Structure 1
Amino acid sequence: MTRDLTISEVRLTPILVADPPLLNTQGVHQPYTPRLIVEVVTADGTTGLGETYGDTKYLELARPFAEKAVGRRVDELNSLLLLADEVAVDSSRVADAVDVGGLRGVQTADKLRLSVASAFEVACLDALGKALGRPVHALLGGKVRDTVEYSAYLFYKWAAHPEGVTAETDDWGAALDPAGIVAQARRFKEVYGFTSFKLKGGVFPPAEEIAAVRALAEAFPGHPLRLDPNGAWSVETSLRVAGELADVLEYLEDPTLGTPAMAEVAARTHVPLATNMCVTTFAEIPEAFTRGAVQVVLSDHHYWGGLFNTRQLAAICRTFGVGVSMHSNTHLGISLAAMTHVASTVPHLHHACDSHYPWQSEDVLTERLAFQDGRVAVSDRPGLGVELDRDRLDLLHRRWLADDGALRDRDDAAAMRVAEPGWAVPVMPRW
């Protein structure tokens, strides 16, 4: 029987998902973070799932994108990114500096479009895989590994959101010093089996974060360690930290802002530099690679426009001898499944991928994806291999509907001002 792969309907469901009080250089995570769930429905009734950022600026682009997608086929993926070019972007929605929500570097209209297109591409691949009875990794050329390794994502953290703020509770406790970070890492290792650790830095003066990494190295000898201050340091501070941690760091992620500054640091240290801030589009690759500014690109299919673009990025990195791994945002299981499928198809994936997923206590799936020995098994079921829990989706959507708009756009600085009224986003470099 011939399947009708024409898109007959697109469902967009913005949701608010519980988020712990995790600290970064911009502030603290809000008690709830916005995500957007995309469902692509074909004429024969097959539904594919996608997920991306849920802030207003993404939702405003997703709506006209959805209208344009109806009537197209889910296997017409090469035209999907071209479709995104037809969607106008409100210039007031485009930042000219670090994006507070994603800490992803300079934001442009094209980057917004790609982040929306990525969810549609994943949803189309999920639907196509279901229609053909094939897993998404097979549609990408086939897996080269049966499991994908992930790294524990460590954060400085408050014990709870500020008093009086409506929030879900968690039992992780505070982590505000080296002992707290090590305790957090031990739990990640015991519960999920992670064997590498990444610390989100840029929160405290560099000496304190150096001490935390040293404590991790002592507690977990031989385990790969990473430190990511999201561009909070000057070139000289970056070099000082790199020098003090050169014997224990797998890589230093975005210690300073911009390709020129990263190139200066890279030229003066042997510690590899990774990025998800200065290389997030193909146009940013030539300068960064020719100047030797980065040695590892942390891909993110939300940034790059989907899974096929992620594979293309990996091929370019291999050509230039640059390592590749994966960046993570506050994603749910749909995105983790997509990350795992595409990561399974990249031959030269030599670094464990990042994942926020263990921090997310809520999901929209009938069954959470599981980490075993720090790895996620690659599903061989049709499509992404996940199933939507509609009751849960409805609950999280009703939370979004009930919000007065304060949480529909992630703003870590605004969340910090609840606890510290005078807080302002630090001028970079912060140290």
Structure 2
Amino acid sequence: MEITDVTATTVDVPLVDLDERLGIGPYVTNHGRVESMERVLVRVDTDEGIAGWGEMRTFLSPAATESIIEDGIGPLIEGQSPFEVERLRRQVFIEYTNIELFFAAVETACWDIAGKALDKPVFELLGGATAPYQTTAMNAAAGGADAADDRAVEFAFCLGILSPEESRVKAQEALDAGFSVLKTKAGRDWQQDVARIQAMHDEVDGQLEFRLDPNQGWSLDQAVRVGAALEESGIFLQYMEQPIRVNAHDSLATLRQRLRQPIAPNEDTYIPNNLRSLVEAGAMDVAVLDLTPAGGIAGLRQQAAIVEDAGVPFTHHCAFDLGIRTAAILHAVHGIPGFSLPPDTTYYGWEDDVIADPFTVEEGRMTVPDEPGLGIDVDLDTVEEYRVR
């Protein structure tokens, strides 16, 4: 089997408004606000008529992202086997550029093709169900039910920066919907960040765990104040995600020593070889990984092995994923050993999806498809409806 074509299409799908149940738009972060999100859908075709799909966000612009994938990566891999994902990932190399993050969606599509050709879901190609919380906690919650329950993956609810009172409402909605973990953005005002966590913790009477993510928005002293203020309130986060800038691993280690709040690098893990540096510096309690900057599912598996070997728990990041990448994440965290904390998601916050049979979020969980490949079909009419021209 040979790859014959690689195409990329950008869609722009709106978010559900904040006024609606589980709505999150506009989603405010330290860097801006989002009311809709452009996603690039990547299709890889083969000479045997089997096509696979991948998904990523736009970089710079839709046209620029599509061009890199179609005109840059496509010619490098056409005529080669989609089964050889490790070799393809190492072959796609361009000086001065982390081209792996553009290759990731193509690589995911190759896994999709391989699964379809072998009539196996991707998680089986990865070795089968492995994550501890799927084989223990999830079974207990389901009362030891059927195989679909064994494939249920718990997710964390994600929320943008809101006022403390608005955050209260959303925390209660998340709890009522069955989520046990809420991640909120931060970094614009550290005192307000503290106040929001305190308000949400009070609203749900401590029944939710919290992740606080300023996207590098705090200085070291501000991060110390945030962590200490929450400790004094009796609130211990599941983790503080990337509290300070990347490549400051000694400062992260200092922060970890000064606080009892777990420290979880995210953007730091996007930089090649940083995981080993973070481990050696003693700079993380949790790793927040992402298959896109890792170069795809195979790259994610490599990163997972590094942190698992170091005894560091890890989870998966969310980047406003539609159904294609959500499916890839489901297969990855179910099939790669070591994922022990719920991945992030905003899937409940989309007005629509490009897959024919969208995932259902029930009690904060989604089920890993057991159909061949990623187990999803793309609705081309919906793609055309939201296509960016």
TM-score greater than 0.5 by the shorter chain: yes
Deviations 1:47-74 (A, max 9, x none): 1110112233433321221122221111
1:318 and 1:255 map into 2 onto residues whose CA distance is 22
Aligned partner of 1:212 in structure 2 is: 196
> Which of 238, 249, 259 in structure 2 is aligned with 1:250?
238
Deviation at 1:202, TM superposition (A): 1.2
Moved over 6 A (4+): none
SS in 2 for 1:13: strand
Deviations 1:185-223 (A, max 9, x none): 2223334x21111111113x2222211111222223142
Deviation at 1:6, TM superposition (A): 1.3
Q: 1:317 aligns with which of 301, 307, 318?
A: 307
The CA deviation at 1:332 is: 0.7
Helix, strand or coil for the counterpart of 1:288?
helix
In 2, Cα distance between equivalents of 1:60 and 1:297: 32
Name the residue aligned to 2:152: 147
Q: Secondary structure at the match of 2:302?
A: helix
Tell me the distance in 2 between the aligned counterparts of 1:347 and 1:49.
24
Which residue number corresponds to residue 50 of structure 1? Answer: 54
> Residue type of the partner of 1:28?
R
CA offsets 1:223-271 (integer angstroms, 9 cap, x no match): 2211111111111111111112233311111111132322221121121
- Does residue 59 of structure 1 match 2:47? no
What does residue range 8-407 of structure 1 map to in structure 2 within 5 Å?
Answer: 8-19=4-15, 20-29=25-34, 31-55=35-59, 56=61, 57-63=64-70, 64-85=72-93, 87=94, 109-110=97-98, 113-144=99-130, 145=134, 146-156=151-161, 176-191=162-177, 193-203=178-188, 205-220=189-204, 221-246=206-231, 247-258=235-246, 259-397=249-387, 400-401=388-389
Partners of 1:323 and 1:344 lie apart in 2 by: 15
The TM-score with structure 1 as length reference comes to 0.78
| 2: CA distance, partners of 1:114 / 1:34 | 20
Quote the Cα distance in structure 2 between the aligned partners of 1:348 and 1:129.
Answer: 22
Q: Is the 8 A contact 2:266 2:289 kept in 1?
A: yes
- TM-score calculated relative to the size of structure 2: 0.86
CA displacement 1:88-140 (0-9 Å, x = unmatched): 7xxxxxxxxxxxxxxxxxxx721xx1111110111011111111110000111
124-133 vs 261-270, greater mean Cα deviation: 261-270
Give percent identity, aligned residues only: 28
Q: CA RMSD in A?
A: 1.7
Indicate conservation of the 8 Å contact 1:37/1:49, yes or no: yes
Is the contact made by 1:15 and 1:54 (CA closer than 8 Å) also made in structure 2?
no
Q: 2:157 touches 2:344 (CA, 8 Å); kept in 1?
A: yes
Does the 8 Å CA contact 2:275/2:307 hold for their aligned counterparts?
Answer: no
Conserved? CA contact 2:180–2:207, under 8 Å? no
Residue type matched to 1:24 in 2?
T
Secondary structure of the residue aligned to 1:82 is helix
1:429 paired residue number: none
CA–CA separation in structure 2 for the residues paired with 1:147 and 1:347: 16
Q: Within 2, Cα distance between the matches of 1:360 and 1:183?
A: 19
Corresponding residue SS for 2:156: strand
SS across alignment from 1:330? coil
* Aligned partners of 2:126 and 2:336 also within 8 Å: no
